[in-house]
């Protein structure tokens, strides 16, 4: 297992090179917030909470830690005003997809929003938030893709994203011979960060390509 | 008239046959879906499942693919297909007025099909005749400079045509 030295918040750390930065840092006890990352499924970059700043030729630039592979000499900052502000913005957008059955998620997001506001005041547009909450066909789902990816990983592949853009939704695709089987493994239910999949994927995800 | 390669009834063997014909491995699935849509008018679920198993993909993956492209249909269209151009030029020259008039006149359902199954209305993005905006395409025939007030006459004319 190859290790490399990286500089995290001005401290030199030796981390594993073969895993995404977010996981390498977790193993060193540095916990970045994230909702869409899982160590078995790899980086996905959808929630935007694990953002860090890295030093590039063009100066400090924000990157998703889950999509970043550690390299020798990589300089990372996890706590700058820019990072906190970007996290707060991502958290605010995610909160609009609520309310969430798991209250911890709302607490985490609320906390990140607050931390960002200390560095840069961005007033919450209450009206826009209410509008996007009202127009959301699946409140509680943040479209992180964990359920779709785990279902594919375990080779059941009963879940998919339907549509695109603001109409993007997760859909359950039934199969005749598996009609009774789905709902028993509960892999998607266990991996869902917000607790949306209840009581089963079939019932939680209403969108269907074929009615 | 060109004979359709695929019909809704003779799906299974046709997908196999078509699979052999399509040479480009990377474009096979999308080309076959295009062919199905062309011949059947929409993509029936049974055929989609057949394509999935032939390609070794999960059916759910193809559901995602089909849903990504708004021009793929998953339900049969009405006898007449009316496409209202929502390109910038047509939009600026009143395409929404035409569309709303059609919705009102035909009482379309969520899929854009009238309850009598005669009409399907869809929005498309630029048919390439911007100088004649606003444009609608009725059964593959482009009509330019359409006024919303002409919609009822058009509908009546189409209703009265007998094939």
The string of pLDDT tens digits covering residues B92-103 is 999 999 999 999
Out of A160, A163, A211, name the one closest to residue B60 (CB).
A160
Tell whether B53 lies on the interface with A, counting CB pairs under 8 A.
no
Q: Of all helices (H) and strands (E), which one includes residue A162?
A: strand A159-162
Whole-number Å distance between alpha carbons of B113 and B81: 9
Give the length of chain B.
163
Out of B61, B67, B68, name the one closest to residue A157 (CB).
B61
pLDDT band, very low/low/confident/very high, at B21 (cuts 50, 70, 90): confident
Tell whether B123 lies on the interface with A, counting CB pairs under 8 A.
no
Q: Provide the 10 A C-beta neighbour count for residue B90.
A: 27
Q: Provide the 10 A C-beta neighbour count for residue A121.
A: 8
In the DSSP assignment, the letter for residue A78 is: S
Whole-number Å distance between alpha carbons of B60 and B66: 10
pLDDT at B20 over 80: no
Q: How far apart are the first and last CA of chain B?
A: 15
Contact A160 B45 (CB under 8 A): no
Tell whether B38 lies on the interface with A, counting CB pairs under 8 A.
no
Q: Which chain A residue shows the shortest CA-CA distance from B111?
A: A211
Out of B45, B64, B68, name the one closest to residue A210 (CB).
B45
Contact A183, A201 (CB under 8 A): yes
- Which residues sit opposite A177 in a β-bridge? none
State the average pLDDT over residues B34-55.
Answer: 89
pLDDT band, very low/low/confident/very high, at B40 (cuts 50, 70, 90): confident
pLDDT tens digits for B130-154? Answer: 999 999 999 989 999 999 999 999 9
Q: Of all helices (H) and strands (E), which one includes residue B85?
A: strand B80-85
Query: Residue B84: what are its φ and ψ, rounded to 5°?
Result: -95, 125
Please, which residues have CB within 8 angstroms of residue B32's CB and are 6 or more apart in sequence?
A: B15, B18, B19, B22, B51
Tell whether B46 lies on the interface with A, counting CB pairs under 8 A.
no
pLDDT tens digits for A103-148? Answer: 999 999 999 999 987 766 666 678 878 887 888 889 999 999 999 9
The per-residue DSSP string of B105-156 comes to HHT--TTSB-TTSSEEEEEES--S-GGG-S-EEETTEEE-S--GGGHHHHHH
Out of A159, A175, A209, name the one closest to residue B67 (CB).
A209
Predicted confidence at residue A184, as pLDDT, reads 79
Q: Provide the 10 A C-beta neighbour count for residue B31.
A: 16
Convert B103-122 to b/e letters by CB count within 10 Å (16 or more is b). Answer: eebbebeebbbbeeeebbbb
pLDDT at B54 over 70: yes
Contact B152, B114 (CB under 8 A): no
pLDDT, averaged across chain B: 86
Contact A51, A93 (CB under 8 A): no
Predicted confidence at residue B77, as pLDDT, reads 87
pLDDT band, very low/low/confident/very high, at B2 (cuts 50, 70, 90): very low
Contact B130, B90 (CB under 8 A): yes
Predicted confidence at residue B39, as pLDDT, reads 85
Query: Residue A120: what are its φ and ψ, rounded to 5°?
Result: -160, 120
CB contacts of B74 in chain A (<8 Å) are 209-210
Q: Provide the 10 A C-beta neighbour count for residue A14.
A: 12
Chains A–B, number of C-beta pairs less than 8 Å apart: 37
- C-alpha A34 chain-centroid distance: 5
Please, which residues have CB within 8 angstroms of residue A155's CB and are 6 or more apart in sequence?
A: none
Please, which residues have CB within 8 angstroms of residue B36's CB and are 6 or more apart in sequence?
A: B6, B43, B44, B47, B51
Q: What does the pLDDT profile of chain A (211 residues) look like in tens digits?
A: 789 999 999 999 999 999 999 999 999 999 999 999 999 999 999 999 999 999 999 999 999 999 999 999 999 999 999 999 999 999 999 999 989 999 999 999 999 999 987 766 666 678 878 887 888 889 999 999 999 999 999 988 999 999 998 889 999 998 777 655 677 789 999 999 999 998 889 889 999 998 7
CA distances from B65 to A155, A198, B29, B69, B100 (A): 18, 26, 10, 7, 29
In the DSSP assignment, the letter for residue A209 is: S
Please, which residues have CB within 8 angstroms of residue B34's CB and are 6 or more apart in sequence?
A: none
């Amino acid at each position: 297992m190859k290790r490399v030295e990286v500089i995290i918040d001005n401290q030199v750390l030796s981390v594993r090179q073969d895993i995404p930065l977010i996981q390498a840092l977790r193993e060193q006890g540095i916990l970045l917030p994230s909702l869409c990352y899982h160590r078995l499924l790899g980086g996905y970059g959808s929630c935007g909470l694990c953002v860090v700043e890295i030093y590039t030729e063009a100066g400090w630039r924000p990157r998703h830690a889950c999509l970043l592979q550690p390299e020798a000499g990589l300089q990372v900052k996890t706590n700058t005003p820019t990072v906190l502000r970007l996290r707060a913005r991502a958290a605010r957008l995610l909160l609009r997809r609520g309310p969430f059955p798991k209250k911890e998620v709302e607490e985490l997001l609320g906390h990140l929003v607050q931390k960002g506001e200390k560095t840069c005041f961005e007033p919450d547009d209450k009206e826009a938030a209410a509008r996007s909450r009202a127009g959301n066909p699946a409140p509680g789902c943040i479209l992180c893709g964990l359920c779709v990816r785990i279902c594919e990983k375990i080779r059941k592949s009963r879940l998919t994203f339907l549509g695109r853009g603001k109409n993007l939704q997760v859909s359950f695709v039934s199969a005749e011979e598996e009609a009774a089987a789905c709902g028993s493994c509960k892999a998607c239910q266990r991996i869902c960060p917000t607790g949306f999949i209840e009581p089963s994927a079939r019932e939680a995800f209403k969108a269907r390509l074929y009615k | 008239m060109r004979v359709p390669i695929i019909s809704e009834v003779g799906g299974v063997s046709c997908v196999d046959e078509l699979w052999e014909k399509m040479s480009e491995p990377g474009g096979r699935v999308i080309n076959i879906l295009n062919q199905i849509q062309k011949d059947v008018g929409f993509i029936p679920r049974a055929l989609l499942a057949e394509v999935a198993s032939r390609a070794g993909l999960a059916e759910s993956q193809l559901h995602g693919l089909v849903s990504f492209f708004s021009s793929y249909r998953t339900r049969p269209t009405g006898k007449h297909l009316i496409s209202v151009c929502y390109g910038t030029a047509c939009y600026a020259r009143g395409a929404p007025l035409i569309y709303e008039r059609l919705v009102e006149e035909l009482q379309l359902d969520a899929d854009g099909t009238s309850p009598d199954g005669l009409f399907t209305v869809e929005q498309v993005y630029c048919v390439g005749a911007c100088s004649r905006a606003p444009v609608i395409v009725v059964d593959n025939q482009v009509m330019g400079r359409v006024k919303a007030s002409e919609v009822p006459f058009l509908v009546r004319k189409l209703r009265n045509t007998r094939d």
